[in-house]
């Protein structure tokens, strides 16, 4: 398969058809059948730390590449302007490093900036003399 037809939907259908890239903007996800023909459904979440979808009015592009490392086929490809471009296979080490890099990217993205902690302000209350205490009683 060298081309995918994109289809914008609100909900992903129960039966995902081969050759169709379903895109749900509402639920920030895209799904398609693996282009190698193995039949597995490939889910690509759309988020700042996952995939980005570009629609030019005619075709869609997903970035980065899709690496199906958990599937037996371990297919690896790009979807650019609805065209499938196969990428090279990755070694186990490359897969491991890619996963580590993805995790690091997510941690950095979601990490809260260090907010300087303010020391509690301790205000000393001066001790009143006996005459100040008596004077205070009469002011009431």
Which is higher by pLDDT, 105 or 130?
Answer: 105
Token representation of residue 45:
């979440």
* pLDDT tens, residue by residue, 19-37: 999 999 999 999 999 999 9
Q: Band the pLDDT of 1: cuts 50, 70, 90.
A: low
Q: Are 48 and 109 in contact (CB under 8 A)?
A: yes
Query: If you search the block for the tokens 């100040």, which residue do you land on?
Result: 132
Q: What is the torsional sign of CA 9, 15, 16, 17?
A: negative
Average pLDDT across the chain, whole number: 89
Residue 115: what pLDDT? 59
pLDDT at 86 over 90: yes
Separation of alpha carbons 69 and 98, rounded Å: 10
pTM: 0.75
Helices (H), the chain: 92-110, 130-139
Quick one: residue 110, left, alpha or beta (phi over 0 = left, psi -120 to 50 = alpha)? Answer: alpha
Average pLDDT of the segment spanning 72-95: 94
Say what percent of the chain tops pLDDT 70: 87
Q: What are phi and psi of 81, to 5 degrees?
A: 50, 45
Average pLDDT of the segment spanning 53-60: 96
pLDDT at 13 over 60: yes
Q: Are 91 and 99 in contact (CB under 8 A)?
A: no
Burial class (CB within 10 angstroms; exposed 0-12, middle 13-18, buried 19+) of 75: buried
Query: If you search the block for the tokens 């060298």, which residue do you land on?
Result: 2
Average pLDDT of the segment spanning 110-114: 72
- Domain ranges within the chain, ordered by starting residue: 5-88
């Amino acid at each position: 398969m060298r081309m995918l037809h994109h289809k914008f939907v609100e909900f992903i259908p129960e039966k995902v058809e081969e050759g169709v890239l379903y895109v749900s903007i509402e639920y920030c996800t895209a799904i398609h059948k693996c282009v190698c023909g193995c039949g597995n459904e490939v889910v690509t979440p759309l988020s700042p730390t996952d995939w980005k979808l570009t629609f030019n009015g005619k075709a869609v592009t997903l970035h980065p590449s899709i690496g199906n490392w958990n599937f037996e086929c371990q297919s690896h490809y790009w979807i650019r302007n609805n065209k499938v471009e196969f990428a090279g296979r990755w070694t186990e080490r490359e897969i491991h490093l890619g996963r580590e890099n993805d995790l690091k990217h997510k941690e950095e993205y979601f990490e809260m900036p260090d907010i300087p902690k303010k020391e509690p302000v301790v205000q000393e209350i001066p001790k009143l003399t006996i005459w100040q205490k008596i004077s205070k009683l009469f002011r009431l």
